[in-house]
Structure 1
Amino acid sequence: MVVAMNCYNVYVLSALESGIDIINSIKEDVKIQGIIGLKENAKHNTISGYVDMSKFCKGQKLKFVPVKSYDLKNQNDRQSILSLKIDILLVLGWQRLIPEWLINHCDICAIGVHGSSYGITLGRGRSPQNWSLILGKKKFSISIFKINTGVDSGEIIDTMSFTLSDFDDIKSCYYKTGLLISKMLTKNIVNIPNLSTKKQSETETKYLPQRTPDDGEIDWDRSTKEIYNFIRALTKPYPGAFSKFNDCKLYVWKAKPFELPLDIRENKTGEIIKIFHRGDLLIKTGDSLLLIEDYSLEPPDSKKYLQEGLIFSSCSFKEQMQKIIGRHMIKYTDQPIHDDIMELS
């Protein structure tokens, strides 16, 4: 069923591949006028999941509005957007706060998406899907909400949840959230003038801290399950979990627990126990073994250093978490971190 959306000027603000999946899912029900996206620039390639929206718009015959600044503070970007007649703005993959001038420019509202394993109110902030996988959570809730000037603090329009299995990684998690976001948008946007929303409680809020690529170093003293969760949380399109050796880096994209009663008591954690003919690596962890099935090396020619008995360096996960939490607490003094994250330090 195609909803009567032709009377509204709907624009999408997106810079991520996940936004394209959502747009493709809702375009038969919601008429989109155009997409506001980042202008092609080499530095944007460091954004996890970044995609050049101009190419997508060309193929879909959609108007593309390029902007230079991710934070939308560039004056030319501002004037370009203000020249648009926007009734509804769908923010689908824009990992920055939306400025007040843009929120006010929308005649009806700007709609954002956010979720966590604790819901939107107790899991505000950054990298919620990565944190859910790192922590081994079994459930994730995703909400669509009316954007205000706060951090994921707007009135909730709708919420749906799904199960996280041991086989999910960050990519499949994004696919799941994208499908539920699409379902909620098509369900609710037709009733946009009469939306029933729910205010979030501000008496108890919690936040998740930002992660950086350097936070992906592996602690081989942790259990196989913990390292497996860490790897699947940071795999593509993210920069990846990594380990150092001989001034080189091993980026791990896919791994799995490897149960076999081998006598590895004399081996060190992080040690390569076996290199199989296909190149897969069997590594000793803090409690058993991990099979690395897909990886890349930096520099590429460092494969010559990989040999059985090589011990990868190990980064203390506890110290890593202390740095992550410390950065957040210095920068965001009014945003208390969720207890589950604090306990990791």
Structure 2
Amino acid sequence: MATEPRSDEAAKQGIVVFAYSEVGHACLDALLARGEKVLALFTHEDAPDERQWFKSCAALARARGIPVYTQEPRDGDTVERLVRELAPDLIFSFYYRKMIPERILKLARLGAYNMHGSLLPRYRGRAPLNWAIIHGENETGVTLHVMVKEADAGDVIDMEAVAIGPDETAGEVAARIPAAAVRLILRQIDGLKAGTAPRHVQDVSQATYFGIRKPEDGRIDWRQSARQVFNLIRAVAPPFPGAFTQAAGRRLMVWQARVAEGGGRPGEVMSLSPLRIAAGEGAVELLHFGFEGEPEAQASEAVLALLHKGDILGEAA
């Protein structure tokens, strides 16, 4: 990984990192590769019910001898005491999943900065990449901004755009996000440490906000247009939990699809080969699908054996 020049004085400045997920790992790794003085990592315990498709920030930090803490900011006294004792010059949050109280942010002499997964002020909040694809956007990105009391509302330091192809899934786009985040942090780290980084006030009139997404939010509503259904399927495709509907009394997972011609009652099976389902407007051809829990090699065959032309998928199935 290419590194940026830095002064010996700047190298002494201490950084506390709050990080998780692939972007968190990539940004922490970039700081360490550059020789930055990372004082500690605050991260999350891995959830047992969540697929761990990303690298471990905790493992990286421990391998480099950096203290790792998993206490959450809601336990404000503990985290505040730890950060105060570390006396950081900078605080970074790289895809950390919890809000950090303002009193903790103020402990960083040169400020606290967050790497957010959208081009702010659009798509503030949680799961910004998934929401962007659901809404049919052709671009997303990462924004480095000042952390303030309100989520994702602080001044923008810099941003880096990432294109979303018309058929790309969230997983495919997500694979390019870490490199964009690393380019961004390396571009601005010296300015942040010198107190000379640019700051731009967000245009609140352009702000949009979206909340957390849960696996159940992947349920397909066949009353929506074919394009909307298609966007949902690619927005939650693996490594995310996936889109689903009801078929033959079972949960049918849909991992890949495309917009097709035709129409009928929403959720109606128009044909079996290919498997084409009517939406509220247009139709969706299912390309990769299977009943939940079925071996993937036999998934489509098991579904087709139980479906008939004219069946209605969804809650009534």
Category of TM-score, reference length = shorter chain: 0.7 to 0.9
The aligned amino acid for 1:157 is I
Cα distance in structure 2, aligned partners of 1:123 and 1:268? 30
Query: Helix, strand or coil for the counterpart of 1:160?
Result: strand
Cα distance in structure 1, aligned partners of 2:110 and 2:263? 64
Cα distance in structure 1, aligned partners of 2:35 and 2:278? 49
1:186 counterpart residue number: 186
TM-score in terms of structure 2 length: 0.79
2:154 counterpart residue number: 154
Query: Helix, strand or coil for the counterpart of 1:105?
Result: coil
Relative to 1, partners in 2 of residues 1:184 and 1:40: Cα closer, same or farther, differing over 3 Å? closer
1:131 counterpart residue number: 131
Contact kept? 1:49, 1:237, Cα under 8 Å: yes
Relative to 1, partners in 2 of residues 1:185 and 1:54: Cα closer, same or farther, differing over 3 Å? closer
Cα distance in structure 2, aligned partners of 1:265 and 1:148? 49
- Asked if residue 217 in structure 1 is aligned to residue 219 in structure 2, the reply is yes
Relative to 1, partners in 2 of residues 1:18 and 1:253: Cα closer, same or farther, differing over 3 Å? farther
Cα distance in structure 1, aligned partners of 2:133 and 2:206? 24
Residue-by-residue CA offset, 1:11-31 (whole Å, 9 max, x unaligned)? 321121331133334543352
Relative to 1, partners in 2 of residues 1:189 and 1:167: Cα closer, same or farther, differing over 3 Å? same
- Asked if residue 38 in structure 1 is aligned to residue 74 in structure 2, the reply is no
RMSD (CA atoms) = 3.3
Query: Helix, strand or coil for the counterpart of 1:283?
Result: strand
Cα distance in structure 1, aligned partners of 2:230 and 2:260? 11
- Range 307-316 or range 281-290, more displaced: 307-316
Relative to 1, partners in 2 of residues 1:234 and 1:9: Cα closer, same or farther, differing over 3 Å? same
Using the TM superposition, give the Cα deviation of residue 85 of structure 1 relative to its aligned residue in structure 2, in angstroms: 3.1
Relative to 1, partners in 2 of residues 1:154 and 1:255: Cα closer, same or farther, differing over 3 Å? same
Query: Helix, strand or coil for the counterpart of 2:275?
Result: strand
- Asked if residue 290 in structure 1 is aligned to residue 292 in structure 2, the reply is no
2:70 counterpart residue number: 67
Relative to 1, partners in 2 of residues 1:224 and 1:300: Cα closer, same or farther, differing over 3 Å? same
Give the alignment partner of residue 242 of structure 1, picking from 241, 244, 247: 244
Query: Helix, strand or coil for the counterpart of 2:175?
Result: helix
2:308 counterpart residue number: 309
Give the alignment partner of residue 273 of structure 1, picking from 265, 271, 274: 271
The aligned amino acid for 1:106 is A
2:60 counterpart residue number: 56
Provide the aligned length of Structure 1 versus Structure 2: 301
Using the TM superposition, give the Cα deviation of residue 223 of structure 1 relative to its aligned residue in structure 2, in angstroms: 3.7
Contact kept? 1:88, 1:108, Cα under 8 Å: yes
Using the TM superposition, give the Cα deviation of residue 53 of structure 1 relative to its aligned residue in structure 2, in angstroms: 3.1
Contact kept? 2:141, 2:180, Cα under 8 Å: no
Residue-by-residue CA offset, 1:50-89 (whole Å, 9 max, x unaligned)? 7643323334x241422243x5336444434433232212
* Sequence identity (%): 18
Cα distance in structure 2, aligned partners of 1:18 and 1:132? 18
1:278 counterpart residue number: none
Contact kept? 2:14, 2:90, Cα under 8 Å: yes
Query: Helix, strand or coil for the counterpart of 1:63?
Result: coil
- Range 194-203 or range 297-306, more displaced: 297-306
TM-score in terms of structure 1 length: 0.74
2:34 counterpart residue number: 29
Query: Helix, strand or coil for the counterpart of 1:130?
Result: helix
Cα distance in structure 2, aligned partners of 1:305 and 1:236? 20
Residue-by-residue CA offset, 1:214-254 (whole Å, 9 max, x unaligned)? 22101234343322211111123322211123453222233
The aligned amino acid for 2:57 is M
The aligned amino acid for 1:89 is I
Contact kept? 2:76, 2:101, Cα under 8 Å: no
Residue-by-residue CA offset, 1:315-336 (whole Å, 9 max, x unaligned)? 69xxxxxxxxxxxxxxxxxxxx
Relative to 1, partners in 2 of residues 1:237 and 1:107: Cα closer, same or farther, differing over 3 Å? farther
The aligned amino acid for 1:242 is F
The aligned amino acid for 1:288 is A
Relative to 1, partners in 2 of residues 1:26 and 1:76: Cα closer, same or farther, differing over 3 Å? closer
Using the TM superposition, give the Cα deviation of residue 115 of structure 1 relative to its aligned residue in structure 2, in angstroms: 4.9
The aligned amino acid for 1:152 is D
Cα distance in structure 1, aligned partners of 2:62 and 2:117? 31
Contact kept? 1:157, 1:198, Cα under 8 Å: yes
Contact kept? 1:49, 1:238, Cα under 8 Å: no
Cα distance in structure 2, aligned partners of 1:24 and 1:294? 37
Cα distance in structure 1, aligned partners of 2:146 and 2:200? 10
